[in-house]
Every structure is written in structure tokens, then in C-alpha cells.
A and B are shown apart, each in its own frame.
Chain A
Amino acid sequence: MIDYLTSSDFLWTVIKVVVIFGAVMNVVGLLSWVERKMMARVQMRPGPTRVGPFGLFQPLADLIKFLFKEDVIPLNANKFLYIIAPLVSLVPAFLTFAVVPFGPSFQVADLSVGLLFVFALTSLGVYGIALGGWASNSKYPLMGAMRSAAQMISYELSLTLSVVGVLLIANTLSLRELVVSQESTWFGFIPKWNIFLQPVAFMVYVISGTAETNRLPFDLAESEQELVAGWHTEYSSMKFLMFMMAEYANMIAVSALATILFLGGWNGPMFGPALLQMVLPTFWFVLKIGFFIFFYVLLRSTIPRFRYDQLMKFGWKVLLPLSLANILVTSFIVAIS
């Protein structure tokens, strides 16, 4: 890991960091539009239409609104933690993209423990929500933070364990090598993606990933009907925006990881001139991420919320045993063959 500091081309790395960071920032903005528009279409509404063509500049308008809103800090809040909490949830969310391979040569750092790096950052992401809810010194945020922390701890287990089956097959923790290991095909046309080898793990991963990003049907932490807005009830203006950005960035990160682990990352049909072939892998990768995001938004607009005890039971009594059984079966098969 340390070699990236000392040996790699510094300028090239900086360029990649700037490009990826800028792209993710913009996509996060765009995602809020995608979500509002798609939710609206599902519910037979037009959605945002006023600002720009198809309401496409709505995120920009929202951003300006957020910037000029009054920044309220509750009187009895713990000021230091209240201010630092949005940062604590935003920074790990964006750091994840340092190891995501967007293409064969389009990755900031190919760590030998890339997957663990992502999980480490995911596990740190809980603090932003927990601290934000606690520092607000208010009832609803505290309830939301508690639920969120409990939920993330519970589902992180099955999220991490579901991946182990893939690791047993691929024999590596590096995200880049994980993608490379899924390069070839069966019978010349079925891509050798892990989703076909590990369907159970894929299902567990997608479900726990939804819970991990606090999205419906697992958004107990901010369930509007019970907790107003959960852990960010007291937050306003830029701080609220930062929480929202962290949520969307986490969504992209979970989708990207699902793509890398189960859908073959940047692998896809290659054709055309050399210049097109350079862009195609990144295109396939982004397309697959888009598929997951589409799925998450559809999920949000069609499925009602879980009850809290159902959520916990489902996590501990269904998903966790399922992922453990998956590891057992996979390691047995790997050991035989």
C-alpha cells in the first residue's frame, strides 16, 4: 500500500483523483434528480419539470437553495460534534472511490487489501450518523441514530460474510484482480461472472447493501412517519446537504462494489476502433452501477418499510445463517475441486 506514495507517478495520480472525485460529486447531484424523477414516474407524477430541460437543473437549484439557507445549530446541541458529524459521514463515503477500478487503467490505487479498505471505510461511516443524532440533543435524532447504528452493525456482518464466498473463488482481496478473475466466458458466450457462481451471496449482498445505506425498505433510521427525519431532523442547509451527499455516495459505492464482486466489473463486449475500446470498459462499469441504482430507486418506490423487530430478526436469523451456510458450501466445493 505504501508503495503508491513512493513509486507511482504523482501527477498522474492527482489527475485521476481529481477526475474521479469530480465525477462522483456530479453524479451524486444528478442522482437526486434521477431518484425524484423516477419516483415520480412510478407514482404517475411528472416530477421536477420547471428548471431546465426535463427539470435536469433541479439539483443545481437545490444546491443554491441549500447554500443560502440559514444554518441552524440547536441551542443545547453539542456544537463540536454537531458540526463535525456531517464530515465524518461524508469523508469515508468519498474515500471509497480511491480503490474502485473504473477501468483497466482507471483506478487511483490498486491495494492488495482493497476490499478490506472499503469495508473499513463502511464501518467508519456509522459514526457520522450516530454522532449527528446524539449531538443534536433531541429525541427523534437520538432514536434515529440508535436504530441506524444497531442496523448497520447487524447488516455489516452479513454484508462482509456474503463476500467471503466470492473471495474463496477469486483468491484475492484486490478489487482489480477480482475483476480480472471474471474476465473469461463459459461456452464462449456466458460471461464468467460471480453472480452465476454465487447467487445466494449476491442476494444477501444486495439486501444487506440496501440496509447498510439506510435505504427503503430499511430506512428505519429516518422513517418519516415516526421520527420526522430521524438522525438529521435538526440539520439544515449545507450540513444536511452533506449528509444527503454521503448517502448517495454510499449508494454508488455499494453498487460499484456489487458490480466488481458479482457482475464482472468493467468486463463487457469489446468492439470498434482502439479509441472506443479505451472508453468501453468504463462505460460498461458505469452502466452496471446504473442498473443497481435503478434497482434501488425502484425498490424504494415499490416496497413498504420493515418494522424494527422484523428488520433485526431478518438480519440475524435469516441473512447471517444464509451467508454462513454459503461460506461453508463454497469452501467445501473449492476444497474438493
Chain B
Amino acid sequence: MVQILFFFFAALAVGAAINVLAQKHVLYSALSLILMLTAMSVLFVLLRADFIAMINVIVYAGAIMVLFTFVIMLLNIPRDEDGADRLRWLKFIGIPLGLFFLFLIVATLWNVDPVRLAQPELVGSPQAIGRSLFTDYLLPFEATSLLILIALMGAVVFAKKDL
């Protein structure tokens, strides 16, 4: 059962991810991305990371992508007819970068220690994540929130210069 679900949603996620690039219309790309994020959340659930799965949907699929689709709809961006032409030079950067990320993923998977995941039900729970965020990873956590705050203030300054 779990394996059937995994393969179904993994295929869905990969298919949707490819569709994001293949679609000519920006809105369809955005919608495919939402589908991909939702499918990925199911994969997180299968890995017993319930909290991350839900946060993934709330933050990315539910909040950030809403803003994306909002902007696309508001601007009513036309079909990207000459998109392939304009993005020709991107493949010289894109392909090496993609290969580099593939290498990173393989390298990470190679070094994963399966013994450390002996009690997976304790890893993904909100309590466990909260505890590690506020003990082991306190500094990166606070630094990230400071960064977000700065970005937020920057956005306000840009939008309302004469506030």
C-alpha cells in the first residue's frame, strides 16, 4: 500500500515538475507547481514527516503560490510564444547546474546513515522539530528569521518610499 502510494505520488511530482517547464502558459506552470508541491507533501507523509508535509502545503502551496497566481492573473501575462528563443543561453548555465545538484543529491544519499533513522516516528513530530530548532539549530533559526525580517522591511521600503 505504502509503496503503491509512493510510486504514484512520486510519478505525479516528477510529471508535474516537468510540466512546469513544458507549459507555455505561465498560469499553467504555476498550477503544475502547486500540484508538484502537494504531491511532495504526500511523500513527506510517507516518510512520517507529517509536520513538514503540512507546513509545505500551508507555506508554499497555500501562501506563496497564491501570491504567484494572484500576480499572474492580475497582470494577465500572455502566452510565452518566443520563450524558447529568449532563454537559449540559459541551457549553458542550466545543464551544468542541474548536473551539479544531481551530484549533490547522489553524494548526500550515498552518505546517509540508515541506523540514525531507527525511530522515524520521533523525528517528524512537531515536538521533535521544535526541540531541535530551539536547541541544536537555534543560531541558524534565529539568523534565518532575522533575514526574513530584513527582506520584509526591504519590501516595505521599496513599496512605500515616502511613508
Taken residue by residue from 44 to 58, chain B's Cβ proximity to chain A (1 for < 8 Å, 0 otherwise) reads as: 011010110111011
Q: Which residues of A contact B5 (CB under 8 A)?
A: 5
Contact status A173-B70, CB under 8 Å? no
Q: Is the CB of A130 within 8 A of B51?
A: no
The contact of A124 among B55, B61, B73, B126, by CB within 8 Å, is: B61
Q: B49's closest neighbor in chain A, by CB?
A: A1
Q: How far is the CB of A211 from chain B (nearest CB, A)?
A: 15
**Is there a chain B Cβ closer than 8 Å to A203's Cβ?**
no
Q: Are A5 and B66 also in contact (CB < 8 A) when A124-B57, A173-B126 are? A: no
A156 to chain B, nearest CB (A): 8
Asked whether, in the complex, the Cβ of A112 is within 8 Å of the Cβ of B74, the reply is no
B125 close to chain A: CB less than 8 A: yes
Q: Is B62 an interface residue (CB 8 A)?
A: yes
Complex Cα spacing A134 to B70, Å: 10
- Of A113, A123, A124, the residue contacting B51 (CB under 8 A) is A113
Interface check A25, CB cutoff 8 A: no
Q: Is the CB of A149 within 8 A of B58?
A: no
Per-residue contact bits, chain B 91-113, to A (CB 8 Å; 1 contact, 0 not): 00000000000000000000000
Known A123-B63, A145-B73, A150-B70: A6·B50 in contact at CB below 8 Å:
no
- Asked if A120 is at the interface (CB within 8 A of a chain B CB), the reply is yes
Q: Mark B73-101, 1 if CB is under 8 A from A, else 0.
A: 11000000000000000000000000000
B contact residues around A190 at 8 Å (CB): none
Contact of A1 among B31, B50, B70, B73 (CB under 8 A): B50
* B18-45 interface (Cβ within 8 A of A): 27, 31, 34, 38, 41, 45
For residue B62, which residues in chain A have a CB less than 8 angstroms away from its CB? 119-120, 122-124, 126, 156
Q: Decide if A142 is an interface residue (CB 8 Å cutoff).
A: yes
B115-133 contact mask (Cβ, 8 Å, vs A): 1 or 0: 0000000000110000000
Closest to B60 in A: A123
For the complex, is A127 an interface residue (Cβ under 8 Å from B)? Answer: yes
A111 touching B63 in the complex, CB below 8 Å, given contacts A127-B34, A130-B70, A149-B70:
no
Are B61 and A116 neighbours in the complex by a CB distance under 8 Å? no
Q: Is A240 an interface residue (CB 8 A)?
A: no
Q: Judging by beta carbons under 8 Å apart, are B58 and A153 in contact? A: no
User: Are A134 and B73 closer than 8 Å at their CB atoms?
Assistant: yes
B66 touches A123 (CB 8 A): yes
B1, A123: Cβ atoms closer than 8 Å? no
CB of A117 within 8 A of CB of B54, answer yes
> Does B155 sit within 8 A of A, measured CB to CB?
no
Decide: A113 and B54 in contact? CB cutoff 8 A. yes
In this complex, the member of A116, A119, A146, A152 whose beta carbon has the largest number of chain B beta carbons within 10 angstroms is A116
Say yes or no: A119-B58 contact (C-beta < 8 A), given A1-B48, A111-B50, A130-B66: yes
Within 8 A of B (CB), among A141-176: 142, 145-146, 149-150, 152-153, 156, 173
B63 to chain A, nearest CB (A): 6
Give per-residue flags for A86-118: 1 if the beta carbon is below 8 A from chain B beta carbons, else 0: 000000000000000000000000011100110
Cβ of B54 and Cβ of A127 under 8 Å apart? no
Q: When the two chains form the complex, which single residue of A2, A116, A126 contacts B66, counting CB atoms closer than 8 Å?
A: A126
What's the Cα separation between A122 and B31 when bound, in Å? 17
| Cβ contacts A291-334/B at 8 Å (1 or 0 each) | 00000000000000000000000000000000000000000000
Nearest Cβ on chain B to A167's Cβ, whole angstroms = 10
**Contact A6 B73, CB 8 Å, known A113-B54, A127-B66:** no
The minimal Cβ–Cβ distance linking B12 to chain A, given in whole angstroms, is 16
Q: How distant is the Cα of A315 from the Cα of B70 in the complex, in angstroms?
A: 19
Proximity bits, A1-40, B CB within 8 Å = 1, else 0: 1100110000000000000000000000000000000000
* Least distance between B87 CB and chain A CB atoms (Å): 25
Q: Which residues on the A side are within 8 Å of B11 (C-beta)?
A: none
Q: Complex: how many Å from CA A173 to CA B55?
A: 13
B48 in complex: contacting residue of A2, A124, A153, A173, CB < 8 Å: A2
Report whether B126 and A112 are in contact in the complex, using a CB–CB cutoff of 8 Å. yes
List the B side residues contacting A5 at CB < 8 Å. 1-2, 5
List A residues at the B interface (Cβ < 8 Å): 1-2, 5-6, 81, 111-113, 116-117, 119-120, 122-124, 126-127, 130-131, 134, 142, 145-146, 149-150, 152-153, 156, 173
Given contacts A1-B45, A127-B69, A153-B67, 17 further A-B contacts (CB under 8 A): A1-B48, A1-B50, A81-B27, A111-B50, A116-B54, A119-B58, A120-B58, A120-B62, A126-B66, A127-B34, A127-B66, A130-B66, A131-B31, A134-B27, A142-B73, A146-B74, A156-B63
Q: Which 10 A-B pairs have the closest CB atoms?
A: A123-B62, A116-B54, A120-B57, A1-B50, A113-B50, A134-B73, A120-B58, A113-B54, A120-B54, A1-B45
